[in-house]
Amino acid sequence: MGKINGLILKVICPDQPGIVAKIANYVAGHDGSLVEFAQFSDTLVSKFFARLEIDTSSLNVDLKDFMNGFGTLGRSLRAEWHFRALPYRMRTTVLVTKTDHCLHEILWRAQMDELPVEITSIIGNRNHCQDVAQRYGIPFHQINMDGEDREAGFKKIHEILESEQVELAVLARFMQIVPNWFCQSYAGRLINIHHSFLPAFIGANPYRQAYERGVKLIGATCHYVTSDLDAGPIIEQEVKRVQHFHSPQDLSRLGRDCERNALARGIRYHVHDRTIIDGNRAIVFPD
């Protein structure tokens, strides 16, 4: 993992005066340096959200003591908080079916070191992406999920994720509805790319639906997966303009660009701890 040289701290708590000063003073009081302090106060619900990146190279206490010591302040703020040590690589599995454009985007960006991820395996309910996995030297698991094998298939996938100690599973055009128990097991760690600008055109064949509706914009949505179909907290969205002469095939072509970009940014925000899930929405601090 390499030398730990920093921390990411995420905080959510009731909004109240002096939060920023109290957190900044805690860091400064232990000779830490704030590299970034992004915060948002939602006045409608009186909640405070923050993401801090802290340079810990000159701390006057042990790193573990610094994190444990924050508990006193956190509890006084009635906060929920999470630390992540830097640097790190998030153990990630990609789930696919037939199309591979989103998979290629993830693998390319990981190879370029744009995403701090370690791809532990690629899982497919078809073998269409197996050659891609082989070219990158990544294990490929083909899981039969047709008909009565669907539930057993998801149990097998869950076993693989647990055995590989996966921290994030990405549904890169994985054309299966995820069962409730699986969503709950990986709540906040399961990301999907849906090929429409949600909440419009949920479910199957969204580009055909968009064509028949005569939309002027199409898009793609990267979101966390919940038991409600295509209704989890949205991380990122991308759109492109539609012209009257565009066919459903043109919409699919334009949409693939949206899918790649939205998914890449969504994963980036998640793995850099730039998202905080708050009920049905995700608070995102872009970089």
Q: Which residues are catalytic?
A: 230
DSSP line for the chain: -----EEEEEEEEE--TTHHHHHHHHHHHTT-EEEEEEEEEETTTTEEEEEEEEE-TT-SS-HHHHHHHHHHHHHHTT-EEEEEEES--EEEEEEESS--HHHHHHHHHHHTTSS-EEEEEEEESSSTTHHHHHHHT--EEE---SGGGHHHHHHHHHHHHHHTT-SEEEESS--SPPPHHHHHHTTTSEEEEESS-TTSS-SS-HHHHHHHHT-SEEEEEEEE--SSTT-SPEEEEEEEE--TT--HHHHHHHHHHHHHHHHHHHHHHHHTT-EEEETTEEEE---
Is residue 94 a contact partner of residue 105, using CB atoms and an 8 Å limit? Answer: no
